[in-house]
Amino acid sequence: MTTHDTDVQAEAGTGATGSHTEHGSHIGIYITIFLTLSVLTVVEVFVPDIYSAEWNAHTKMLLLCILAVTKALLVGLFFMHLKWEKPWLKYIALTPVYMGIFAIFLMLETAFRGPGG
Amino acid sequence: MSTAAVAHADHGHDDEPPVDEHFGHATGGKVAMWMFIAQDGMSFGGLLTAYALLRINSVDWPVPAEILGIGLTAFATFILICSSLTMVLAVEKAKARDQAGTARWLGLTILGGLIFLGIQVFEYMHLVDAGIGFAQSSWQGVEINDRFGSTFYAVTGFHGLHVFSGVVYLTCILLGTLKGKYTQGGISYSAVELVGLFWHFVDLVWILVFTFVYLL
């Protein structure tokens, strides 16, 4: 896999330059993002074990949410090229975030009153 | 697109689509795909919101990790991340007019999708066998909150449908690649880029589903 990737990197480095200079050298970034996503996934799997105690529940939730949002951002910004797009495309991409904010708002009541109440 | 813009795309700097005031060099297809992705994200948002509300307001929600196989699903997650990498490499190859390379990486992306679906089918069969149904659930012979199974299948099943659609979509693009349609230079690669956007979105949603449904 590693030799192959280096091979690809070398090929694309020569093949995609010229008129596409700003897109030409992304392969190194893609591989870095891929490795970061893999490492973060491994970290994520161990978080519930490390913070399994009841009194750690909030830390566990917060950490897992931060890890998930970070991974989602990496995919969106780099694999989906949002980092290199104009603001308008980013605004379109951000619209589902409203749903997340709405969900948090809806959960606030239970968060304060406790479940089943 | 005006006739002048078509002429511009056909002759002048045909490596870039015409520049739009708000969207720069993004093609109409790319803007359309992003709008589709945004509304599809809203659909997932609706399902995940319903799941979150049902779960947070229940007193007997099972611990997902005790029922669901985290290790196997983490592996499936890794497969999807790998397929995102092969997808971006396919786009790079299409940009570089490398037909064989594009086809190879698209093929590997499809393979990743199929492995993911295979794991999901295996997981569903195992869970249904163990008593977790669409509407009624029991675990180790004891009745559990039915909504655990309902929300699990609704969210992961809807995602699985996306993976399935993605595999079909990728296969269509692979066939076009084998005919040489997307490696002719200019913006001919954009069809590969668009299927890539959809595929990465499916990966992105899974990252969130894996966290909210399996790990939390």
pLDDT tens sequence across A70-110: 999 999 999 999 999 999 999 999 999 999 999 999 999 88
B188 near B182, Cβ under 8 Å? yes
What span, in angstroms and rounded, lies between the C-alpha atoms of A64 and B155?
19
CA distance B138 to chain A (A): 21
Tell me if B43 is assigned to some domain. Answer: yes
Q: Are A73 and A36 in contact (CB under 8 A)?
A: no
Domain of B139 in residue numbering reads as 28-215
Assigned domain for B81 exists: yes
Is residue B17 one of the residues assigned to a domain?
Answer: no
Domain-located, residue B39: yes
Q: How far apart are CA B79 and CA B84, in angstroms?
A: 9
CB contact under 8 A, A89 and B84: no
Asked if residue B9 is part of any domain, the answer here is: no
CB B21 within 8 A of CB A77: no
- Express each pLDDT in A55-71 by its tens digit: 888 899 999 999 999 99
In A, which residues are within 8 Å of B82 by CB distance? Answer: 34
Establish if B59 belongs to a structural domain.
yes
CB–CB of B63/B148 below 8 Å?
no
CATH number of the domain to which B123 belongs: 1.20.120.80
Nearest CA in chain A to B89: A27
Any domain includes B6: no
pLDDT digit string (tens) for B1-29?
444 444 444 444 456 677 888 888 888 99
Q: Which two tokens stand for residue B60?
A: 């007997």
Give the mean model confidence (pLDDT) for residues B30-56: 95
How many structural domains comprise chain B? 1
pTM (predicted TM-score):
0.86
Residues forming beta bridges with residue B143, ordered by sequence position: B138
- For residue B7, tell me if it sits in a domain: no
